[in-house]
Amino acid sequence: MLMAITAILVGLIVLVWSADRFVDGAAATATRLGLSPLLIGMLVIGFGTSAPELMVSALAAGQGNPGLALGNAYGSNITNIALIVGLVALMSPLAVHSQVVRRELPILAGVTLLSLWVLYDGAVSRLDALLMLGVLALVLAMSIVLSRRQSGDRAGRNHDALAADVGQRTGEETMSLTRGIVWTVIGLVMLIVSSRLLVWGAVWIAESLGVSDLVIGLTVVAIGTSLPELASSISAVRKNEHDLVLGNVVGSNLFNTLAVVGLAGVIHPIDVDPAVLARDWPVMAALTLALLVFGIGVKGAGRINRIEGGVLLASFIGYTAWLVSSVVVA
């Protein structure tokens, strides 16, 4: 047990570090190869911060633990909204200026409804998984086309600005192509190693305690793999970059719902635990709806104040207590 706990702690630490190195290297490489700031921003914010979830879920599915993959994806979505947005809003109320963020919030809500349709028959087949990956490609293509047609975000925040902000954070502007490639490879290798360590520890503990890998994925693994989003969101709010916080969460949740579950389903079809439909999906959907209402705003500009942040954070605490109590009762 001590070895498994150590494996999880070490795996999480190395996972967060390697994800940062991977994002740094990938952003630098993309910049040196002449890719547009828009594309870099979307990939870094979306794929980069979801790299831990993607790697952990892919490995879990490959090792025959698809429940861990599904729990990781949906648990991370819940954590991103309830814990990260809630905590950051308590630190500083979040004003939503970007039209890009406003456009992608309804897309996230639509993707969440799509996930219900996929889960409803009790399984995520390879066909379902390919559909989700196809929708992700469509969403990315549509975002790129629409963003290029816009002359600019009137509030001063668009994907180019997001990309520039990410660039300043990662420091890829001063990184050479060779160094960027090296860090990309190192980050990817360490992501794989740390993910294997984390999955092994989580599965061992789950089997030893008689807890389902779904619950382990929804709690320990989900919170751990959401640490990059938490770190980048706290950094962004300190710089008064409110739209970057929400852009980070929305982009990550889109990738989690479509890419993480999609890739895991392609590797190994997922049997959906009834608890996902009865407990976890409704919580994720309710939080997504709350984020949509808060972000777009009913009257005037959207704003997530401290009271709403407190509600989100309380929801996370309540949901986690619900999971723990279900394990104790079982």
Model confidence pLDDT, tens digit, residues 208-265: 877 777 888 888 788 877 777 777 677 677 777 766 778 778 888 998 999 999 999 9
Q: What per-residue confidence (pLDDT) applies to 175?
A: 74
Q: What per-residue confidence (pLDDT) applies to 58?
A: 83
Q: Of 244, 223, 224, nearest to 233 (Cα)?
A: 244
Question: Which tokens belong to 67?
Answer: 């429940």
Residues 116-142 have a mean pLDDT of 92
Given a cut of 70, is residue 298 above it in pLDDT? no
Instruction: Name every residue whose Cβ is closer than 8 Å to that of residue 98 and which is 6 or more positions away in sequence.
Output: 153, 155, 157, 158, 243, 246, 247
Question: Which tokens belong to 269?
Answer: 């079809």
Q: Of 316, 256, 272, nearest to 290 (Cα)?
A: 316
Q: What per-residue confidence (pLDDT) applies to 159?
A: 45
Q: Round to whole Å and give the CA distance between 97 and 24.
A: 27
Identity of the residue numbered 264: A
Residues 59-78 pLDDT 10s: 888 877 778 888 889 999 99
Q: What per-residue confidence (pLDDT) applies to 202?
A: 77
Q: What per-residue confidence (pLDDT) applies to 129?
A: 94
Mean model confidence pLDDT for the chain = 79
Question: Which tokens belong to 263?
Answer: 């890739």
Residues 300-306 have a mean pLDDT of 76
Question: Which tokens belong to 100?
Answer: 């890009």
Q: Where does the pLDDT of residue 162 fall: very low under 50, low under 70, confident under 90, or very high at 90 and above?
A: very low
Residues 81-110 have a mean pLDDT of 83
> CA angle at residue 70 from 230 to 66, to 5 degrees?
130
Q: What per-residue confidence (pLDDT) applies to 77?
A: 94
* DSSP assignments along 202-257, one per residue: HHHHHHHHT--HHHHIIIIIHHHHTHHHHHHHHHHHHTT-HHHHHHHHHHHHHHII
pTM score of the predicted model: 0.78
The residue with greater pLDDT, 123 or 230, is: 123
* DSSP assignments along 128-154, one per residue: HHHHHHHHHHHHHHHHHHHHHHSS--T
Residue owning tokens 């290798």: 189
Q: What per-residue confidence (pLDDT) applies to 40?
A: 59
Domains along the sequence of the chain with CATH:
2-329 (1.20.1420.30)
Q: Where does the pLDDT of residue 123 fall: very low under 50, low under 70, confident under 90, or very high at 90 and above?
A: very high
